[in-house]
Amino acid sequence: MSALSGKKTLGMVLKGYPRISETFISNEIRLLEEMGFTIHIYSMRAPRENFAHESVKRIKAKVTYLPESMIWGLPRLVYHNVRLFLRMPGRYRECLKLMKKRFRLAPKKHTWIKHMLQAGYIVQKSVIDDGVNLAHLHGHFAHTPTTVTMYAAKLACVPFSFTAHAKDIYTQDPERIRDKVERAKFVVTCTRYNEQYLRGRVANGKPIHCVYHGINLDLFSPNGRPPEAKPPYRILTVARFVEKKGLDTVLEALAGLRARGLDFRYTLVGEGKAKFNRQIKELVHRLGLDDVTTLPGTITHDEVIELLSHADCFTLGCREAKDGDRDGIPNVVAEAMATGVPVAATDVSGVPELVTHEQTGLLCPSNDPDGLAEIIQRALTDDDLRRRVIPAAVKRAHAVFNNKKLIRDLGEIYKSHGVPCGE
């Protein structure tokens, strides 16, 4: 057995690393490192994009990629788990009992076996063989990453915690997430809306901390243009192509505005699974928006910032999906506000915690294209509203979404629960 070496380490279990859509996680890791935390990243799969945001290059943490396939990765998973079982049969059996208890709740039985094997891989390959001095494990997202985190923590005999975000809360059986909350040392979530849900349904007295993701305000400043916007108006959306983003509502709203004679150009940044990509393109065509819509796909964060600097309005049509999935507070909403771009969005989940109707932006109910069209038009053409909302939104973003302050708060939460820093 390799001797544990180096500083006491905070292990971060992530679904994938790096991921273009999870800038907030890479920023969090980078700022926690600046506070003195030693971090080791455990990624459940390899990167799926061929580029990464600039902030990732500044992260010092080493990364262990866990075998993700039960076909190609099975020999490595079994090899290290057999070795771990032979080293600590009693503790391994206890973890198997935990898995068996949760197994009946699993929607996909084979994935839960994989998660147990991935946890064993972390402990045998990283902690024992490579000598990572693991002191605490933290999972990002309350579903599969926290399952792996929970098993690995039990095998390594260290405490664990997790951050619950959005889909991972609302599409998961409450009994499954309740079990994780009860076993964790503490839980973090990213909106007051989520915090209230967790406290009301699954907290059972466990510490639940709300810390917004925040944004790097050094990258965002008012675009310097006068508050009045001129046609053709530039409208922007940045979102994954999934049901909860309500992109069909946005496109229908824009079609209504075009029918009224509003002159605009629309950029929709993002993509999703092939089916959703196809549906969005077909809807753009069916609504007659081809000549005013640009679909650049997935782009870098720097390119998003450039688009924001020229936008006249940012819009999202977030909704609760059929499976219960919903957003927290999309970071790009805060980015638009900090850049001085008025936000016209729906009043779902945590969005009203940042966007106050008529004060720091405009809101309407979800699934209401006419309502969304109305507030988009106001955000573009009501000069008095823009003069009032733009500076208030900038101030609000700086007051509550400064990631440097928020990550310091998060670091203090970690330390208050005994997670070592600088040791």
Model pTM?
A: 0.88
| Residue 46 pLDDT level (bands cut at 50, 70, 90) | confident
Provide the mean pLDDT of the chain. Answer: 92
Q: How far apart are CA 144 and CA 23, in angstroms?
A: 20
| C-alpha 145, offset from chain centre | 13
Q: What is the pLDDT of residue 224?
A: 74
Q: What is the pLDDT of residue 276?
A: 92
In 214-319, which residue ranges form alpha helices assigned H by DSSP?
247-259, 274-286, 301-310
The CATH label, of 3.40.50.2000, 3.30.300.20, 3.20.20.140, 3.30.565.10, for the domain at 217-400 is 3.40.50.2000
Q: How far apart are CA 283 and CA 290, in angstroms?
A: 9
pLDDT at 167 over 70: yes
Asked if 374 and 364 count as a contact pair (C-beta separation under 8 A), the reply is yes
Q: How far apart are CA 148 and CA 333, in angstroms?
A: 31
| DSSP secondary structure, 135-173, as one string | EEEEEESTTHHHHHHHHHHHHHT--EEEEE-SHHHHTS-
pLDDT at 90 over 80: yes
Contacts of 43 (CB under 8 A, 6+ apart): 14, 15, 16, 17, 63, 64, 65, 66
pLDDT at 313 over 50: yes
pLDDT at 57 over 90: no
**Considering only 6-15, 17-26, 409-418, which range has the smallest mean pLDDT?**
17-26
pLDDT at 17 over 50: yes
Asked if 215 and 199 count as a contact pair (C-beta separation under 8 A), the reply is no
Q: How many CB atoms lie within 10 A of CB 233?
A: 20
pLDDT at 413 over 50: yes
Q: What is the pLDDT of residue 4?
A: 57
In CATH terms, are 5-214+403-416 and 217-400 the same topology? yes
Tokens of 49: 């994009």
For 205: left if phi > 0, alpha if psi spans -120 to 50, otherwise beta; the answer is: left
Q: How many CB atoms lie within 10 A of CB 349?
A: 23
Q: Is the dihedral of CA 99, 102, 104, 108 positive or negative?
A: negative
Q: What is the pLDDT of residue 300?
A: 87
Tokens of 157: 């005999």
Q: What is the pLDDT of residue 102?
A: 76
Asked if 317 and 248 count as a contact pair (C-beta separation under 8 A), the reply is yes
pLDDT at 242 over 80: yes
pLDDT at 109 over 60: no
Q: What is the pLDDT of residue 19?
A: 81
Tokens of 371: 């309502």
Give 184-205 pLDDT, tens digit per residue: 999 999 999 999 989 887 666 7
**Considering only 12-21, 69-78, 127-136, 141-150, which range has the smallest mean pLDDT?**
12-21
Report the range out of 16-20, 273-277, 310-314, 418-422 with the highest average pLDDT: 310-314
Q: Which CATH class is domain 5-214+403-416?
A: alpha beta
Contacts of 166 (CB under 8 A, 6+ apart): 190, 194, 325, 326, 327, 328, 349
Domain positions in the chain: 5-214+403-416, 217-400
Q: What is the pLDDT of residue 1?
A: 43
Task: Give the torsion through C-alpha atoms of 245, 247, 248, 252, to 10 deg.
Answer: 130
Residue carrying the six token digits 């859509």? 21
Q: What is the pLDDT of residue 23?
A: 79
Q: How far apart are CA 223 and CA 299, in angstroms?
A: 20
CA distances from 269 to 55, 128, 277, 307 (A): 20, 44, 11, 10
Q: What is the pLDDT of residue 166?
A: 87
Crossing angle (nearest 10°) for helices 369-381 and 247-259:
60
pLDDT at 87 over 80: yes
| Residue 110 pLDDT level (bands cut at 50, 70, 90) | low
Partners of residue 6 on adjacent β-strands = none
Q: What is the pLDDT of residue 422?
A: 78
What are the backbone angles phi and psi of residue 66, rounded to the nearest 5°?
A: -80, 145
Mean pLDDT of 355-382: 98
Q: How many CB atoms lie within 10 A of CB 420?
A: 17
Give 316-335 pLDDT, tens digit per residue: 999 999 998 999 899 999 99
Mean pLDDT of 224-237: 92
| Residue 140 pLDDT level (bands cut at 50, 70, 90) | very high
Coil, helix or strand at residue 270:
coil
